A and B are shown apart, each in its own frame.
Chain A
């Protein structure tokens, strides 16, 4: 069975602070895919990144960066110089891909960025 744990439930930071959102996963599959999604107050789920299990290279996209470590089964997400618009719920998710591509989601982390 697959499982995603987001131990942090709520994080509050002041604008321009850096913040890291943790994600730990469990799977028996050797091939799998990890995702991060952002859900702003409007409710829409915004795709941020997909990472496959064979690619442990860290990725940076503007103020966002992701650290994938198979040794610790973690896929953490860092926002640098946070902004008020970053306030949202962030979900980490996992799928084995292929014919069974359903996503298993973590419980989500509510990030509040104060001006």
Chain B
């Protein structure tokens, strides 16, 4: 399985500020995904990030609020902009495959964000 790390693991931020979350994978992957898990809820896909192209956002999520970078095949960042308490969630990055195992999706440890 792919080994995925995220930074920071948790943060407490003030409303109106922005936080950039980093996701690093130990192997080259084509697709990376960013999910949000609000307290007590299931996971919802924010966007899909392919290297060399613009991220594709799901309904209800916009680039101005959640800009994403994908500079290479092992790294991506998600920024949560102009934060409000409603953005308090766990943010997880996910990759498909890794080491040739397609259609198996693995998740990073998540970033627990609290907005006050």
A binding-site residues for B, Cβ under 8 Å? 33, 35, 37, 43-45, 47, 50, 52, 91, 95, 97, 101-103, 105-108
Q: How many residues of B contact A (CB 8 A)?
A: 23
For the A-B complex, the count of residue pairs with Cβ-Cβ distances under 8 Å equals 50
Chain B residues lying within 8 Å of A107, measured Cβ to Cβ, are 41-42
5 CB contacts below 8 A, A to B, read A45-B110, A47-B104, A95-B105, A101-B96, A103-B94
Assembled-state Cα–Cα distance A37/B43 (Å): 11
8 Å CB contact of B103 from A43, A45, A52, A106:
A52
**The one of A33, A91, A102 that contacts B42, using a Cβ cutoff of 8 Å:** A91
Classify the secondary structure of B's interface with A: strand
Q: Which residues of A contact B104 (CB under 8 A)?
A: 47, 50
- Say yes or no: A43-B107 contact (C-beta < 8 A), given A101-B96, A106-B42: no
For A108, what are the chain B residues with a Cβ–Cβ distance below 8 Å?
42
Q: Which residues of B contact A (CB under 8 A)?
A: 1, 31, 33, 41-45, 48, 58, 90, 92, 94, 96, 102-107, 109-110, 112
Which of A45, A52, A102, A105 interacts with B48 by CB under 8 Å?
A102
Write out the residue numbers on chain B whose beta carbons fall within 8 Å of the beta carbon of A91: 42-43
Distance, CA A44 to CA B67, complexed state (A): 23
| B103–A103 CB distance below 8 A | no
A18→B5 CA distance, assembly (Å): 34
